[in-house]
Amino acid sequence: MELTTVWFGLIAVLWIGYFCLEGFDFGVGMLLPVLARDDRERRVLINTIGPVWDGNEVWVLVAGGATFAAFPEWYATLFSGFYLPLLLILVALIVRGLAFEYRAKRDDHTWRARWDLAIIVGSFLPALLWGVAFANIVRGVPIDENAEYVGGFFNLLSPYALLGGVTTLLLFLTHGALFVALKTDGDIRHRARALALKVGVAAAVAAVAFLAWTQASTGSAGSLVLFAAAALALVGGLVAALRAREGWAFTGNFLAIGLAVAGLFAALFPDVMPSSLDPAWSLTTTNASATEYTLTVMTWVAVFFTPIVLLYQGWTYWVFRRRIGTQHIPA
């Protein structure tokens, strides 16, 4: 197997990890005003993701760095063409991180309410815009013969792209609600599970529509299998939630997101960024890749350091695996 194909697969794995892990972070942040009825319950929700949210963000940093090193042409075209939405995502993530750190610095209701709003908006924007961005990457955007994006901002807001944004938004809301149901006890747990069922049905409808549209437009045999598996996992997760099996419900939604993202990359391959103007101008794993030497060095680095990162992050989740409730939050 060529190293370009290997690195395309590794970048896909990094994005799968990011959406599966950071997805429930976004969901919890967006659900802050919905599930919490007072400040103590809001603190419970924030504490469910407090030990892990920053580690989950590492996946997108590594994905961006790997794209830059392995496929510099892809990185250049993507970040220049999608400059505004990616800038909005970056600002939202920065403000959201500040909110987690500064919310408790003052014992003032207005202070906390403003930082809570920052968490909500900082979770909502990436949850929506990542779906819009990936939908455009898979479907194709105006790229000329010089590998430059020649469209405008509104070219990125097609009905298909907006459906992709709504799909990720609803999937992450469901993911967050299931994570809260899995990690909390008491009234919050029951409210989260009930909400996950309601939002999950809407997410299933949006996801089926988006994945079917993708398959009809650019799909392959591999993407069809992965999309079908994602749909089954999502339905299985909702059935488990209906039976109050939060662990299986969260696992089902986790797999649904992961399989759906894998299907998008399968539909994209061997392109990395198709041109909607002329297929001959599309960026592929071949014409957008770095040198063989660069890919070889990166492969050895990944072989040694990836297991360490996985073990450390797995250990973090194991240490903070217990449920929490308002009884654990001091007045």
pLDDT tens, residue by residue, 310-320: 898 899 899 98
Given a cut of 70, whether residue 1 has pLDDT beyond it is no
As a whole number of angstroms, the distance between CA 311 and CA 26 comes to: 23
Q: What's the pLDDT score for residue 321?
A: 87
pLDDT of residue 167: 96
Average pLDDT over residues 271-298: 90
Tokens of 160: 């298909």
Please report, for residues 97, 142, 156, 267, the alpha-carbon distance to residue 263 in angstroms, rounded to integers and kept in the order given: 30, 23, 21, 6
pTM of the model: 0.94
Distance CA 158, CA 66 (A): 28
Distance CA 136, CA 43 (A): 37
Residues 6+ apart with CB under 8 A from 104: 112
Q: How does residue 168 score in pLDDT terms, banded at 50, 70 and 90?
A: very high
Neighbour count for residue 296 (Cβ, 10 Å): 11
The pLDDT confidence band at residue 105, using thresholds 50, 70 and 90, is: confident
Under a CB-based contact definition with an 8 Å cutoff, are residues 119 and 32 in contact? yes
pLDDT one-digit tens code per residue, 194-239: 999 999 999 999 999 999 999 998 889 999 999 999 999 999 999 9
Please report, in angstroms and rounded to a whole number, the separation of the first and last CA atoms in the chain. 58
- Dist. CA 152–CA 142, nearest whole Å: 9
Neighbours of 224 (CB within 10 A): 15
Cα dihedral 43, 44, 48, 49, rounded to 10, equals -20
Q: What is the pLDDT of residue 109?
A: 87
Rg, the chain, Cα only:
20
H-helix segments, the chain: 3-30, 32-35, 39-49, 53-70, 72-81, 83-102, 109-139, 159-183, 187-218, 221-242, 246-268, 292-319
Q: And the tokens for 277? A: 């103007």
Closest by Cα among 173, 123, 147, 124 to 75: 147
CB 253 within 8 A of CB 171: yes
Look at the alpha carbons of 306, 177, 51, 99 in this order and tell me if their dihedral is positive or negative.
positive
Contact 288, 271 (CB under 8 A): no
